[in-house]
């Protein structure tokens, strides 16, 4: 599938699309946003007016079948990703779907099957594969700046939101919509990036718990894994600590040093090796999906490849399924 100009239809024009992902659809060369959809028509119309989008819909099928639209960005909660992605691909439209790719690996597999049957490209919004700070981490690993990597340690601790009622209502705390809890919403970025650096994760062992009982989903996950490359990993994600315990750190340990970085905080990438300690500061882009969008548009124009696809996105979903299996499916 080769497109001269990529003309996007956006399904689900919520908060994530206001700054992070919506503007790159319009700012990337050879790319434009021609239609948006939201079930609340008044909100869809408001979004279209504010972002100078020609058309709006309150029906996803009408947007998918808009003859001018040749690519669909699915930015709804995960429970609708499968339905809309499949409809779009069967209509001959390229698909870019928000992360997590779907509620579970099985739904991802269905999406990939349709992509393969139709020959329509499928991409996932794991944009850290293209951000400069994260590419620096990969460069340091690939260049052997710290020698041979032995293990990756991930630690993520955060306090719960003050309003527990908002947590219960939000899709990211409702497993039937999101597939899990904040692991799926937040840790997916880290796990996908580690897949990018070290290759697919092969073996996973984990325990998932709900300690604070603030919402139905798991709120603590402790995991260890092994990449196919032989690099080992450990991770602890706790989403109900105090503000004083706030931590977002990924540590790559090797036989000659280490690299430290954060998944979400705009702090320098740190290299420690035989030559000393080095810091590499990076500014967070205003539109964080712009680098990945440029790659996707180039791919659709036959001018390159996207590092984040349905295949890679599905791998991360498989790993997360394994990590929360003990909480949701103890009988398996």
Main-chain phi, psi angles of 66, to 5 degrees: -60, 120
- Give CA–CA dist 176/89, Å, rounded: 24
> How buried is 188 (Cβ within 10 angstroms: 0-12 exposed, 13-18 middle, 19+ buried)?
buried
Look at residue 42 in the predicted model and tell me its pLDDT: 95
pLDDT more than 90, % of the chain: 93
> How buried is 14 (Cβ within 10 angstroms: 0-12 exposed, 13-18 middle, 19+ buried)?
middle
What would the pLDDT profile of 170-184 be if each residue is shown by its tens digit? 889 999 999 999 999
Torsion (CA) 10, 300, 316, 80 in degrees, nearest 10 = 30
- Give CA–CA dist 27/14, Å, rounded: 19
The pLDDT of residue 168 is above 60: no
Look at residue 170 in the predicted model and tell me its pLDDT: 86
Q: How far is CA 271 from CA 23, 139, 145, 317, in A?
A: 33, 11, 8, 30
Look at residue 166 in the predicted model and tell me its pLDDT: 58
Look at residue 165 in the predicted model and tell me its pLDDT: 60
Look at residue 301 in the predicted model and tell me its pLDDT: 98
Mean pLDDT of the chain: 95
Cis geometry, peptide bond prior to residue 100 (ω within 30 degrees of 0): yes
CATH class of 132-284: alpha beta
Look at residue 332 in the predicted model and tell me its pLDDT: 36
pTM of the predicted protein model: 0.95
Average pLDDT score over residue span 62-77: 98
What would the pLDDT profile of 186-227 be if each residue is shown by its tens digit? 999 999 999 999 999 999 999 999 999 999 999 999 999 999
What would the pLDDT profile of 119-160 be if each residue is shown by its tens digit? 999 999 999 999 999 999 999 999 999 999 999 999 999 999
Cβ(291)–Cβ(285) below 8 Å? yes
Pair of tokens at residue 32: 């434009």
Look at residue 288 in the predicted model and tell me its pLDDT: 96
Name every residue whose Cβ is closer than 8 Å to that of residue 301 and which is 6 or more positions away in sequence: 2, 3, 4, 6, 30
CA 101, 102, 106 angle in degrees (round to 5)? 115
- Give CA–CA dist 254/37, Å, rounded: 48
Look at residue 29 in the predicted model and tell me its pLDDT: 98
Give the fold, CATH level 3, of 6-126+288-306: Rossmann fold (3.40.50)
Look at residue 329 in the predicted model and tell me its pLDDT: 74
pLDDT band at 331 (very low <50, low <70, confident <90, very high): very low
Q: Nearest CA to 187 among 218, 163, 216?
A: 218
Strand partners, 13: none
What would the pLDDT profile of 254-286 be if each residue is shown by its tens digit? 999 999 999 999 999 999 999 999 999 999 999
What would the pLDDT profile of 90-119 be if each residue is shown by its tens digit? 999 999 999 999 999 999 999 999 999 999
Look at residue 14 in the predicted model and tell me its pLDDT: 87
Torsion (CA) 82, 87, 90, 93 in degrees, nearest 10 = -100
What are the domain boundaries of the chain? 6-126+288-306, 132-284
Torsion (CA) 178, 181, 183, 184 in degrees, nearest 10 = 0
Look at residue 161 in the predicted model and tell me its pLDDT: 80
């Amino acid at each position: 599938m080769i497109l001269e100009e990529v003309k996007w239809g956006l399904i689900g024009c919520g908060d994530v699309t206001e700054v992070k992902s919506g503007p790159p659809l319009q700012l990337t060369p050879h790319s434009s946003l021609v239609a948006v959809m939201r079930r609340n028509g008044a909100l869809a119309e408001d979004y279209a007016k504010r972002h100078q989008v020609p058309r709006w819909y309150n029906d996803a099928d009408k947007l998918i079948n808009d003859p001018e639209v040749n690519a669909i960005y699915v930015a709804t909660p995960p429970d609708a990703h499968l339905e809309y992605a499949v409809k779009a691909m069967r209509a001959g439209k390229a698909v870019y779907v928000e992360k997590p790719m779907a509620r579970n690996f099985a739904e991802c597999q269905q999406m990939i099957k349709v992509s393969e049957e139709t020959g329509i490209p499928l991409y996932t919004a794991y944009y850290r594969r293209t951000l400069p700070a994260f590419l620096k981490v990969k460069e340091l690993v690939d260049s052997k700046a710290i020698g041979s990597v032995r293990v990756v340690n991930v630690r993520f601790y955060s306090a719960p939101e003050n309003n527990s009622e908002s947590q219960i209502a939000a899709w990211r705390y409702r497993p039937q919509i999101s597939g899990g809890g904040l692991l799926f919403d937040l840790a997916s970025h880290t796990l996908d990036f580690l897949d990018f650096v070290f290759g697919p994760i092969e073996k996973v062992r984990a325990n998932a718990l709900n300690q604070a009982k603030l919402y139905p989903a798991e709120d603590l996950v402790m995991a260890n894994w092994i990449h196919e490359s032989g690099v080992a990993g450990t991770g602890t994600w706790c989403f109900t600590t105090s503000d004083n315990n706030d931590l977002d750190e990924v540590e790559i340990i090797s036989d000659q040093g280490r690299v430290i970085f954060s998944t979400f905080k705009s702090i320098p990438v740190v290299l420690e090796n035989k030559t000393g300690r080095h810091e590499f500061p990076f500014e967070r882009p205003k539109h964080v999906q712009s680098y990945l969008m440029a790659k996707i548009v180039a791919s659709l124009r036959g001018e390159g490849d996207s590092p984040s696809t349905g295949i890679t996105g599905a791998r991360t979903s498989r790993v997360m399924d394994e990590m929360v299996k003990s909480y949701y499916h103890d009988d398996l």
